[in-house]
Structure 1
């Protein structure tokens, strides 16, 4: 493949080449470029364009929380005033102990929660203390909350597409 290959073809090949993760080498974009027969600069440009357009959501590390000592993992769920969810979700997402924070639709009457925030720690007591910090931050905009603790490790993968 050369530098003049159609962006859609190169983008598809990049997704296939990276869907199991970036190469674990000091210069992963160079390794991808060599594999795809293009320059590392073009790899970075196309990945950036896919991020900007929303065709891919992120490029990031996915740590094994258990392996690094975070064995208590709690998904906190919150019933937050809809008029303030964007502002408050942003604030919760900025907390250094929150790894995932996002808005989800309620499923009334059984599930009133619209804000989710994942908290990791070495023990449940610490997770619960951190959830109390979130509650303080949310203040009266929060009407209800709960926490769901992980009981098993699940393999996390994104969408997989086949090669040519």
Structure 2
């Protein structure tokens, strides 16, 4: 499980939006929640807290914007999905909001974003990440996506990943001393 923090939107607490206990919880979870039946308890025990306290504090931090999301993030490479294509689409602006929402629901789409065009070099305004076990599979997905976009789509490209980058969010530096 992944925990994404966003300290640029501070909560109503001490320095940086986190009190010492919240900071200890973020430090304990920033590499992910443990994959055990009681992840809240597993995080809580070394901190001298209860699982309920950790869950409630993380929920509060999420509601205040300190934590953006708590989600499962599978390693698609280990699952055999080694062809990763960022597809970029030139979609008619009059239809992009509706079509973007539709595209985001398609199985196999892990990311779907509207981005500004940079004309004349870059006419693409819809970015959609597709994953497959081969480039041919990604190309089939892109063709199905092209059909779904219909007349609103003028052009597209597939940009394949050439290497795996480290995928981590923001990390807090550890500070000496116990949480209190």
Gap change, CA 1:129 and 1:25, over 3 Å in 2: same
Q: Give, in whole Å, the separation in 1 of the partners of 2:74 and 2:137.
A: 19
Deviation string 1:75-113 (CA, Å, 9 cap, x unpaired) is 111122334333222211111111111222223322222
User: Offset at 1:25?
Assistant: 2.5
Q: What's the RMSD between the two structures over aligned residues?
A: 2.1
Q: Which residue of 1 aligns with 2:73?
A: 62
Which of 18, 39, 42 aligns to 1:8? It is 18
* CA shift for structure 1 position 158: 0.6
Equivalent residues in 2 for 1:77-96, closer than 5 Å = 77-96=88-107
Q: For 1:1-164, what aligned pairs fall within 5 Å after superposition?
A: 8-9=18-19, 10-164=21-175
Cα deviation, residue 151, structure 1: 1.5
Gaps in structure 1 of 5+ consecutive residues: none
Gaps of 5+ in 2: 1-12, 176-180
What SS class does the counterpart of residue 147 from structure 2 fall into?
Answer: helix
**How many correspondences in the alignment?**
160
Residues 1:11 and 1:83: Cα distance change in structure 2 (over 3 Å)? farther
Larger relative helix fraction: 1
Distance in 1, matches of 2:95 and 2:165, equals: 32
Q: CA deviation at 1:72?
A: 1.1
In 2, distance between residues paired with 1:140 and 1:98? 21
Q: Secondary structure at the match of 1:128?
A: helix
Q: SS in structure 1 opposite 2:71? A: coil
SS in 2 for 1:57: strand
Q: Relative to structure 2, which stretch is displaced further, 109-118 or 45-54?
A: 45-54
Q: TM-score, normalised by structure 2?
A: 0.78
